[in-house]
Amino acid sequence: MASSGTSLGSSSWRKPKHQQHFQVCFCFKRIFKLKVSEPPEEIRSIFEKFSENNNGTVMSVDGLYRFLVRFQGERDCDDTKHKAQAIFDSHKHLFLFQRKGFHLDAFFRYLLGDDNAPLLQVGHDMRSPLAHYFLYTGHNSYLTGNQFSSNSSTAPIIKALKKGVRVIELDLWPNSTGNSVEVRHGRTLTSPVKLRACLKAIKEYAFYASKYPVVITFEDHITPPLQSKVAKMVNGIFGDMLYRPSSQHIMNKFPSPESLKEKILISTKPPETPEEDQEHNEERSSEVNYMMRYNSYDKDKNGDEDEEKEDNSLEYRDLISIHAGKPKGGSGNLFISHEKVRRLSLSEDQLEEIAKTRATEIVRFTQKNLLRIYPRGTRVDSSNYNPMVGWMHGAQMVAFNMQGHGHLLRMMEGMFRANGGCGYVKKPNILLDENEVFDPSAFRLPKKNLQVMVYMGEGWRSEFSPTHFDLYSPPDFSVELRIYGVPADESIKETMTMEDEWVPVWNQEFIFPLTVPELALLYIKVVEHDFKGKNDFGGQTCLPVSELRQGIRSIRLCNQKGEPYKHVRLLMQFQFI
């Protein structure tokens, strides 16, 4: 590592004004000169280009308007003029602002501010069937930690709903006495939580972050009498909020999110009808048939019990607006088209295996039906899998363990930052085309190139202690850029490492060819290099490429839990070429 404040040689930097001292040992200190945050040279040039006066030191409202239209890709209209004026007005309190217009530092402050965010504020068409959308989906939504021994609680359900999650999973089991229903991860050491408490929490927070419908998936391990209790409980708590299709037995397409605003939908495998029950009985083994033949129950009593069971089943069945279940006949019949739409669930491993030979069948199935993917059972630590495998095959409900951390969960959050963060993202048309069914692994030429310029970063000195990253010197930062998407588009690039800099300036450009930009996500991570040990984490975020705003943007970074830092951000530029 270099010491004593080695200069980057950039003319954009002022003379350093501060020093930082590091005590290496009892009698030796390392002294580093600290640079202040200042516009890189290219930002200076852009400012001068759109400034009015001869020496390029002041930018008027008209100059800012021209910058927004010509460089940032904003529309040439009155709304953009009003936006330029609003930006000016919002910076009047700064000492950098003078009556005649922006000076360079005020312009720079605007570029790094939250008003210059990287994503478009777009609204997707919400009038198509539910099957045409990706839904923000949780797995075992009630668990607070790992999948084997953590507590069950309403807290993670509330947290998920506040983040915009739209699909909540509850596992229903009989309690210890068998007379009531509780929510827990069966056959593990996880503690239970009352079903009523979970349903009340959902009712209270369902539409906290979004008005679009919430789907509750029940993993049902309860008897018909308990199903009847659940039916009464659900009806009593949700009332008119509960969606009941008027002709659910012949529903050939799902309703739209728009038509289901502020509605709760129940999805589970429905109880068998008498006809299905009879068919099931005929398929039982000869041993079971032999035992039934010698059953000595009173005939009338049996009739009464069957009638009560049917009443219980019908009451529970009427709750279910999205029917779940697998067709009979094994994996060969999984994607057979039926008149009635349904939900199918596959594990991540099942999906990967089936997709090797039947990718287009899966995509075609998801054009009308719902496909839910869930983590394999060995993910006891609440880790997650690559969600892109599900999305690129059209799976709407890619269920994630929200209790975990890691970059895969950040991918999930990145996808659902699209469409205003409402928890529903419209599938790209390529996944909905019934004539030319999408094959994720097929060869394609790039549709466009994403050009990314990484200018600089700032905020770490305000967010962390002087020795957080290194005991003996300022940090050594680099930026990792990664595209997640179809296999042909995935790519990783990294800037150079800027040694001993709290305000690193990279000025590096990268180009990512994209064959399916509609599905691509840009994951951004800052790494602090420790050349003698494990690297440190410096921030991250994930952005949907389809909604990136072109031009120079402020990228606010998050910690390892996905919570935004107050000060840490990058200055970057995006262009599609």
H/E stretch holding 409 = helix 407-415
H/E stretch holding 482 = strand 477-484
Q: Do 506 and 496 touch, CB atoms closer than 8 A?
A: yes
Alpha-carbon distances of 292 from 229, 286, 307, 517, rounded to whole Å: 29, 10, 18, 60
H/E stretch holding 477 = strand 477-484
Helix (H, G, I), strand (E, B) or coil at 453: strand
Please count the other Cβ atoms lying within 10 Å of the Cβ belonging to residue 251. Answer: 17
d(C-alpha 328, C-alpha 332), whole Å: 9
Q: Taking the CA atoms of 329, 331, 333 and 336 in sequence, report the sign of the dihedral they define.
A: positive
Active-site residue (options: 103, 124, 132, 185)? 185
Let me know the angle formed at the C-alpha of 400 by 394 and 406, rounded to the nearest 5 degrees.
115
Residue with tokens 């199903």: 227
Q: Report strand pairing: 193-194 vs 181-183.
A: antiparallel
Q: Do 271 and 227 touch, CB atoms closer than 8 A?
A: yes
| Residue 413, amino acid | E
Please count the other Cβ atoms lying within 10 Å of the Cβ belonging to residue 399. Answer: 26
d(C-alpha 190, C-alpha 452), whole Å: 45
In the residue annotation, 221 being an active-site residue is answered as no
Token readout for 356 is: 């090797």
Active-site residue (options: 139, 323, 393, 529)? 139
Q: Report strand pairing: 491-494 vs 424-426.
A: unpaired
In the residue annotation, 132 being an active-site residue is answered as no
Maximum alpha-carbon separation in the chain: 104
Where in the sequence numbering do the catalytic residues fall? 139, 185
